[in-house]
A and B are shown apart, each in its own frame.
Chain A
Amino acid sequence: MNNLKRSTQRIFWLITLIFFLILAAMAKLVLFDRQEIASSPYNPRLNYADSSVKRGSIKDINEDTLAESVDNGDGTYTRKYNRSRMAAHITGYSSKGKTGVEAAENFELQKVHNEILQRIEYILTGEPIKGNDVILTVDMDIQSVAGNLLGNKKGAVVVMEPSTGRVLALQAYPDFDPNTVAQNWESLKDDPDSALVNRSTQGLYPPGSTFKIVTALAALEYYDGWQNFTYECKGEAVFENKVIHCYNNTVHGTVDMKKAIATSCNCYFAELAKTMGAEAIRKEADKLYFNETYPFLLAHSDSSVVLNGDSKENEIVETAIGQGKTLATPLHMAMIACAVANDGMMMKPYIVDHIQYYNGAVSKTTVPEKLDEVFSAEYANIITDMMVSCVEEGTGTAARISGIEVAGKTGTAENATGSDHSWFIGFAPADNPKVSVAVVIENADQDGRATPIAAKVLQAALEKYQ
């Protein structure tokens, strides 16, 4: 065989290889990337609903229907939200665009399983062609307790299972009625309270003292002297040009870390942060998914910590107590509480339990996934111990539940919108955590603080999940 023929054969294999790359890329697209690409809100195919298909229902874990399509009698369907406001931020709406689970799982809700069989059945019996049902991890019993406790206080409640990352409740106020979004669109879209925004996942709040858990973890991880580090609290202290007060200027005396967490001593953490420096806090925060997107089905904001090597002292001490430019979402703070409860393993939060076909068959049950081991079990135990003392004898006594040991951390966050936001994050039972919670109440007054609400939500959740 001469050279020309041999070279030609080589060219043949080269170009055939690149064609096989195309085949592989196509297979990858349609087998692995399909769900992610196709469910993009930009995909016009999702809004082009086949009118002959009855869109699937959204149900909670007890199969309680949250959203369903009801036949108008003429073959067209109206979307009905049975629990109205109570689950509004979870289901989202489906007129004037789509949000919430309606948007995120549009693809499944619209997808017809065994389409050929269903179409034959439709021709023979008139049985409607049904999309897949989406079954959530949310428990409406807990969701309702949270909603009722929240009442008309602006804020959010997140309840999760620490060992799995399952979201049991995701409540936020102000809310809206998904049934009447189209009618009320004009007032809703320009609502000064942004009722359409899901505060539990998108609301960015200064985390206040709940952030001290992050500061404490930074010390455990990067500051060897933390165990012997004590501070003489005088109720207030000056750092550079910033005066740090303890709440009500309470003088805590000599405090170590445990007492500082329990009593929420700002001066201690300010001094600790000054000693260990900005980078330790920033590194720990980044590990805990601040300044980073974590996967979650519903639209959510990224929490942020802006410290770096050049940060000034007053910035460092403010950040250490969750003030300054530090911002976090209630969902993210609940995930941090979960990580402490779950021996430092942060689980990927999820809200869809499984997809159910028209014939009742279950498909695609979500398997809990680890996000990252963000700190060691040893540190988790130390922090848990501190959080228990916070509830037992510190600022969080309002979260005590008789017969059950609760671990928690309170927070009072100064902000530009008025009186302080009230926070509580925690979990119970402390020795074998089943439920975690994060509660934030905007501009809370004395009667509407986060801690007692969190206690009642925890109690309700434990009744079902212990």
Chain B
Amino acid sequence: MFDLIIMLSRYLFLFYIILFLWQAVVYVAYEQGGYLGSPSRAVSIQKGVIVWLHVTAFLILSYEPEMMLLDFKALSTGVAGLVFLLAAMVLLDKFYYEGCPLVWTGMLFLLDVSMIMLQRLDPALALRQLMWMSIGIAIMLFIPFILRLIPRFEAFELVYIIAAYGLILTTLLFGTAKYGSVNWLKIGPITFQPSEIVKFLFIFYLASVFRKRVELKQLLITGGLSAGIVLLLVLQKDLGGALIFFMTYMVMLYIATSNELLFFAGMGAASVAATLAYHLFSHVRVRVAAWKNPWSDVDGGGYQIVNSLFAITTWGLLGSGLTKGMPKSIPVVESDFIFAAICEEMGTLFGMGMVCLYIMLFFRGILIVIRCQRRYYSLLAAGVTTMFAFQAFLIIGGVIKLIPLTGVTLPFVSYGGSSVLVSIMMLGLLQWVNVYCEQHDMNYQNSLSQNQNETEWDGDDFHE
């Protein structure tokens, strides 16, 4: 009987994610001038879907067929998760009144999937992840205050880049290795990935530099400094991190200069660098070999990717049903390979829905970039958006063997304190840009209409 319920629940999960995505379409349609339904109702339905997804999944996860009882521990994690979700929904709306609601619901959906999958894989991890999520949201609520406290934080470009280098070099010297990459730092009982914090510093640095007219001198300096960070990450064997930083740099450079030639030249240089890295570093060769033909070394280098492919393909479009698969046969399934586990148990269609969800989040981020009137904030938003979208692409593409595997986390979903914290705070930053720009834009419009010459300080951004 329980087996039957799990079988049917697969359709329910698919229904949830399709309904969720459809409501996003309804919202966007209204925004673009069409009408498929009320946008506020669409957001409410999305929130409802998140709650129902959570309740359905945790009822299945806490049921014990032998005892015909619900497991108390799993159930309490579920209740705690539900409280977290509801509290986040209320607080986020309060603190970011003008934030984009689709970004919040999208993020919460992903966080909920993360909780569900971690509860399935390892309940202890689910609890810890829930704690990190709560801390992340709590910190994020204060981002607007913090940023308001520091006036003109675009002026500190040197501070950002020096801190970034400091952190990366410290890791290189004192770091501990985990899963083959030396990108963890241990301070007392806490281990964290400094490269996650460097992501922030890097985006702030580039936005600060590129807000001005980009001259050759800046181009060379930022290019050199960014290449340095990328190289240091390669030395730490953090290939995924290196790629993310590189792409973020290229995108921000392109957006700031609108120079296609520069973009393609950068890509060309990267191809040369990648070829060099392939010949210089054995760990790069190992990754590429495992991608090209994992079947030739199933017990060795190809083990992870082959098991990931088994998980995704064995059960077909709808998956095995929650708790019915074997996701634990994939190494590091709770972090890098969590997407394979989701495809296995909730279905590949659900996984494809999640990819659409990332596209949706990316779209909202780009919209914020385009709507924002100030160059500096546009650049910040562009950096954040590209970074998390490209990271999602890297790991999903790696897990399905579209591209060579690079060990990065799936934003909001993979287990990992620093990853979740930074992902949440990045979206906080994005939303804050949105809030700031909308307010600023309104003030600007008001001042124009009142024909006042003295407007609020508008930054020293370069104006085209």
Contacts and interface: CB of A to CB of B under 8 A. Distances in A.
A29 interface: yes
A352 B197 CA distance: 57
Nearest to A115: B7
Interface string B291-314: 000010010000000110111111
Nearest to A11: B251
A11 B254 contact: yes
Contact of A4 (B258, B326, B397): B258
5 contacts: A10-B254, A18-B397, A19-B359, A37-B309, A43-B314
A7 B397 contact: no
A107 to B, nearest CB: 8
B17 to A, nearest CB: 14
DSSP class of A's interface residues: helix, strand, loop or mixed? helix
Contacts of B386: 11, 15
A465 interface: no
Contacts of A45: 310-311, 314, 325-326, 329
A6 B251 CA distance: 13
A6 B8 CA distance: 46
B312 A29 contact: yes
B4 interface: yes
Contacts of A33: 313
Interface stretch (B157-165, B363-371, B405-413): B363-371
B3 A38 contact: no
Given A7-B255, A38-B310, A42-B306, A26 B370 contact: no
A428 B431 CA distance: 79
B310 A8 contact: no
A47 to B, nearest CB: 10
7 A-B pairs closest in CB distance: A3-B258, A12-B366, A119-B4, A25-B402, A38-B314, A43-B310, A34-B313
Nearest to B210: A4
Nearest to B378: A4
A194 interface: no
B4 A4 contact: no
A29 B355 contact: no
A359 interface: no
A8 B4 CA distance: 48
Given A4-B375, A5-B370, 5 more contacts: A4-B378, A29-B312, A34-B316, A44-B329, A45-B325
B28 interface: no
B433 interface: no
B254 A7 contact: yes
Contacts of A115: 7
A2 B313 contact: no
B172 to A, nearest CB: 30
B248 to A, nearest CB: 11
Contacts of B356: 23
Interface residues of A, number: 42
A40 to B, nearest CB: 7
Given A12-B362, A33-B313, A22 B255 contact: no
Q: Chain B: interface residue count, which band? A: 35 or more
Contact of B8 (A12, A16, A31, A116): A116
Interface in B408-427: none
A228 interface: no
A120 interface: yes
B7 A8 contact: no
Interface string A83-123: 00000000000000000000000010000000110011001
A29 B362 contact: no
A40 B310 contact: yes
Contact of A23 (B3, B312, B355): B355
B312 A6 contact: no
B346 to A, nearest CB: 13
B138 to A, nearest CB: 30
B298 A42 contact: yes
Contacts of B348: 26, 29-30
A110 to B, nearest CB: 10
A437 B362 CA distance: 63
B224 to A, nearest CB: 23
A22 B402 contact: yes
A52 interface: yes
A217 B7 CA distance: 58
Interface stretch (B34-42, B91-99, B281-289, B388-396): B388-396
A27 interface: yes
Given A25-B402, A27-B352, A29-B400, A18 B393 contact: yes
Nearest to B362: A15
B464 A15 contact: no
Contacts of A120: 4
Nearest to A119: B4
A124 to B, nearest CB: 11
Contacts of A27: 352
B382 interface: yes
Contacts of B256: 4
B337 to A, nearest CB: 15
Nearest to A5: B370
A191 B295 CA distance: 29
B317 interface: yes
A2 B352 CA distance: 34
B464 A4 contact: yes
A10 B386 CA distance: 12
Contact of B258 (A7, A23, A38): A7
A30 B348 CA distance: 7
Contact of A116 (B4, B351, B366, B389): B4
A8 B375 CA distance: 12
Interface string A245-283: 000000000000000000000000000000000000000
B364 to A, nearest CB: 11
A156 B464 CA distance: 82
Contact of B355 (A3, A19, A30, A31): A19
A6 B255 CA distance: 8
Nearest to B299: A42
Contacts of A446: none
Interface in B335-364: 343, 348, 351-352, 355-356, 358-359, 362-363
A19 B310 contact: no
A293 interface: no
B90 interface: no
A9 interface: yes
Contacts of A2: 464
B309 A30 contact: no
A119 B7 contact: yes
B1 interface: yes
Contacts of B326: 44-45, 48
A5 B359 CA distance: 19
A371 interface: no
A362 interface: no
Nearest to A18: B393
A107 B314 CA distance: 8
A21 interface: yes
B402 A21 contact: yes
Given A11-B251, A119-B7, A22 B464 contact: no
A38 B343 CA distance: 14
A16 B317 contact: no
Interface string A320-362: 0000000000000000000000000000000000000000000
Contacts of A29: 309, 312-313, 348, 400-401
Nearest to B303: A42
Contacts of B329: 44-45
Contacts of B393: 15, 18-19, 22
- Most chain B CB within 10 A, of A22, A23, A40, A123, is at A22
Given A15-B390, A116-B4, A44 B258 contact: no
Contacts of B8: 116
